[in-house]
Amino acid sequence: MQKKKRSFLERLTGSVPVEESYDEGEGRVELVSSSSGEDDVGQLAVDVYQTPNEIIVQAMAAGVKPETLEIEISREMVTITGTRQKYDEIAEDDYFFQELYWGSFSRTVLLPVEIEADEAEAIEKNGLLTIRLPKINKEKRKALKVKSV
């Protein structure tokens, strides 16, 4: 069975089902496919960049209620899952173009540096999800005083 070739827009907007992992190499962000095994799970398109103190993950979450987004964070990884629900049932033959992705999506990002998971925050504004992940300060040191027991 021959696979249908996806348009650039489908790949750009994350409407391509999750199939393979993507690795940019040493010291770079690694984008990993979902391990759920479901064929109908799309891959969420993300931008990942850094500032001196944070790693920022951004994704378009238009049409997704913030309370239905699930974000799991560890020191070296972020996973975003959710569902974009379609409210109108339109017959396939009535479409001229169908480029929007509807249904479940998931994206896992392996981070290039460790982050403080407890201090992370997620904000959704005008359909843009922004996750701020403070980097661990490896230069920070703390002196301990020895107590006598």
Q: What is the pLDDT of residues 109-136, one digit of tens each?
A: 999 999 999 999 999 999 999 999 999 9
Rounded CA gap, 57 and 122, in Å? 9
Task: Tell me the pLDDT tens digit for each residue of 21-40.
Answer: 444 445 566 655 544 455 57
pLDDT in tens, 81-103: 999 888 788 888 998 988 888 88
Q: Is the separation of the CB atoms in 49 and 56 below 8 Å?
A: yes
Tell me the pairing of strands 77-84 and 30-32: unpaired
Query: For the chain, what percent of residues have pLDDT higher than 70?
Result: 74
Q: Rounded to an integer, what is the distance from CA 115 to the centroid of its chain?
A: 16
Kindly tell me if the per-residue pLDDT of 56 is higher than 60. yes
**Rounded-to-integer distance, Cα 118 and Cα 101, Å:** 32
Q: Identify the CATH assignment for 42-87+97-137 out of 2.40.50.100, 2.60.40.790, 3.40.50.300, 3.40.50.740.
A: 2.60.40.790
Q: What is the pLDDT of residue 30?
A: 60
Kindly give, in sequence order, each residue whose CB lies less than 8 Å from that of residue 17, ignoring residues fewer than 6 positions away: 39, 40, 41, 42, 43
Q: Work out the end-to-end distance of the chain between its first and last CA atoms, rounded to an integer number of angstroms.
A: 74
Q: Where are the domains of the chain?
A: 42-87+97-137
